[in-house]
Structure 1
Amino acid sequence: MTDSELRHRKAQADKPVDAAPKKRRAIDADDDDEKYSPWVDILRVLSFLIAASFGLSYVVTGGSSWTWGGVQLPEYMKADWWKEQLRGPVYFTPEELAAYDGQDPDKPVYLAINGTVYDVSNGRHIYGPGGSYSFFAGADASRAYVTGCFAEDITPDMRGVEVMYLPLDDPERDAHWTPAELERMKAEELETARKKAHEALEHWVKFFANSKKYKRVGYVTREDGWLEKLPRRELCAAAQKGRPKRKIPKN
């Protein structure tokens, strides 16, 4: 390489570097920052939430609605359900339960069946004072649900209720069976009667347990041996009157 070529390259190397491209890149970056808007991300999030709501509505309603139209939300999606889970059940003595009979308008209306307490405030017009079922409020009236004797059987004592399903003894009719046959038949009748009494109470237990209108709030607590301390109740007149007669076997 000649001396002239070396001097030319050295002169080129000694020239100051043009900083303009770097400045332009910096200016372009500033322009990009000024153009950025958080609303783009907000719109993306909102779009996702709306789409998710449509999808969840479709699943919960079984494909009948995309917009939660006319849907009854599952219990676990309601605030009251979570409050109940966090609070846990409330226990009432019979005396404490009696304070929720609807007489105080500032208190909810409670009733109990088979020891479980329900808030029936949504039906205050029938369970509250003057309502057709006001005798159920503030008490566990399990027996009355089965016997239908609302005035006499406001009690959880179910002993002897099965008698209402037992056929009446009638010497004239009973003469159609031998003593051994009659004894065997009465044992079967008693077993059937107990089953019917259980099913009759269970019907109402399930009615309140599955109700969307009335909510479980707790349980009735009683002292040990409370049932044995109560006198045995006679079957009320209306239930006694409805007892069937044995059917005479056909020859």
Structure 2
Amino acid sequence: MMPTPVPPSPSELAIPKVLFKGKLVSGKKSNSPFFVHQRHKQSRSIDNITNPPTITTTSVSSSSSSSSSSSSEKQKKMNSNKKKNIRQIDQHSHSILAKSAALLVSGIRYSILILLISILLSRMITEHWLWGYDGKWARLSHYFPGPQETFTLERLALHDGVQDPSKPLLLAIDARVFDVSANPAMYGPGGSYHHFVGKDASRAFVTGCFKSGLTFDLRGLNDRQKKSLDYWINFFENSPKYSKVGRLILPDLNASNTPLPVDCDPKLEGGAI
């Protein structure tokens, strides 16, 4: 069974009602602390509405100033770190370059020292500065060649060692003029190859015709003879004894209607080289 509610007593009905938190409650003495607290809260709310708190410009400006100062310090620190890293990289690069330069200088010094010792030993043992080597690689003229001269057939003929023994021994092959004075026993008067000196006898080099083939006329050569001509050109150009001194001006054989040369039997004229 549900309990039956007890009706209020006549004394309670005589106490007036008070509005508390949106409800009408009894205004008896025991409820007075709650009423005092309620009035205090209401007065504070009214004060906040009529006198709102103000934010001073000084606090805002000081806050923004402190934040900008902090960001500026961070930026300065970052820039300082960047500059420090760049200086470290530069110092490292300079250190590597300095070490490389020192090694290079040391290598050059030791190379020069070894070269001087070798030259002195060569002079003491062989009485020659370069251990007996006297090829073109030991001549300054090979590294610093003079101006290349232009020769005519008449001028080249003066360098046969007979007409003017004071002149160097020169021969030409395919219009390239070479100085063969370093080997007078072979190319000088009485030498086995003297018939090549003072002229361009290119055809004789590849045919072996030492009498009828002493000419610069290279018309009609076969492939084997052309390869042989290239061999002799390379031989003189790369020889350690002989040096190239100029070019030979040759007449145009086709314009003069000169007939093609007829090759001989090499066995009858001295044999092929």
TM-score (norm 1): 0.52
Judging changes above 3 Å, is the alpha-carbon distance between structure 1 residues 75 and 207 closer, same or farther for their aligned structure 2 residues?
closer
In 2, the alpha carbon distance for the partners of 1:213 and 1:74 equals 5
* 2:16 counterpart residue number: none
- Which whole-Å deviations, capped at 9, do the CAs of 1:118-145 have from their partners, x for residues lacking one? 1001111211111111100001111000
Instruction: Name the amino acid aligned to 1:145.
Output: F
* 1:159 counterpart residue number: 219
* 2:202 counterpart residue number: 142
* 2:149 counterpart residue number: 90
In 2, the alpha carbon distance for the partners of 1:160 and 1:53 equals 54
Judging changes above 3 Å, is the alpha-carbon distance between structure 1 residues 74 and 51 closer, same or farther for their aligned structure 2 residues?
farther
- Which whole-Å deviations, capped at 9, do the CAs of 1:64-89 have from their partners, x for residues lacking one? x95244386996874223542xx321
Of structures 1 and 2, the larger Rg is shown by 2
Partner residue of 1:80 out of 130, 141, 147: 141
Q: Report SS of the residue matched to 2:118.
A: coil
Contact persistence 1:94–1:221 (CA under 8 A): yes
* 1:216 counterpart residue number: 244
Contact persistence 1:147–1:239 (CA under 8 A): no
- 1:113 Cα offset (Å): 0.6
Mapping for residues 170-249 of structure 1, pairs under 5 Å: 194-223=222-251, 225-229=252-256, 230-238=258-266
- How many pairs are equivalent? 152
Judging changes above 3 Å, is the alpha-carbon distance between structure 1 residues 132 and 74 closer, same or farther for their aligned structure 2 residues?
closer
In 2, the alpha carbon distance for the partners of 1:238 and 1:71 equals 37
Judging changes above 3 Å, is the alpha-carbon distance between structure 1 residues 49 and 206 closer, same or farther for their aligned structure 2 residues?
closer
In 1, the alpha carbon distance for the partners of 2:219 and 2:267 equals 14
- 1:231 Cα offset (Å): 2.1
Structure 1 unaligned spans of 5+:
1-47, 58-64, 162-193, 242-251
Structure 2 unaligned spans of 5+:
1-106, 123-130
Contact persistence 1:113–1:141 (CA under 8 A): yes
Report sequence identity in percent.
35
Instruction: Name the amino acid aligned to 1:89.
Output: Q
Q: Bigger relative contact order, structure 1 or 2, given CA contacts below 8 A and separation 6+?
A: 1
Instruction: Name the amino acid aligned to 2:216.
Output: P
Partner residue of 2:192 out of 132, 136, 140: 132
* 1:99 counterpart residue number: 158
In 2, the alpha carbon distance for the partners of 1:195 and 1:79 equals 38
- Which whole-Å deviations, capped at 9, do the CAs of 1:140-183 have from their partners, x for residues lacking one? 1110001101111111111123xxxxxxxxxxxxxxxxxxxxxx
- Which whole-Å deviations, capped at 9, do the CAs of 1:211-246 have from their partners, x for residues lacking one? 0011111110134x34542221112133899xxxxx
Q: Report SS of the residue matched to 2:247.
A: strand
Contact persistence 2:207–2:225 (CA under 8 A): no
- Which whole-Å deviations, capped at 9, do the CAs of 1:8-34 have from their partners, x for residues lacking one? xxxxxxxxxxxxxxxxxxxxxxxxxxx
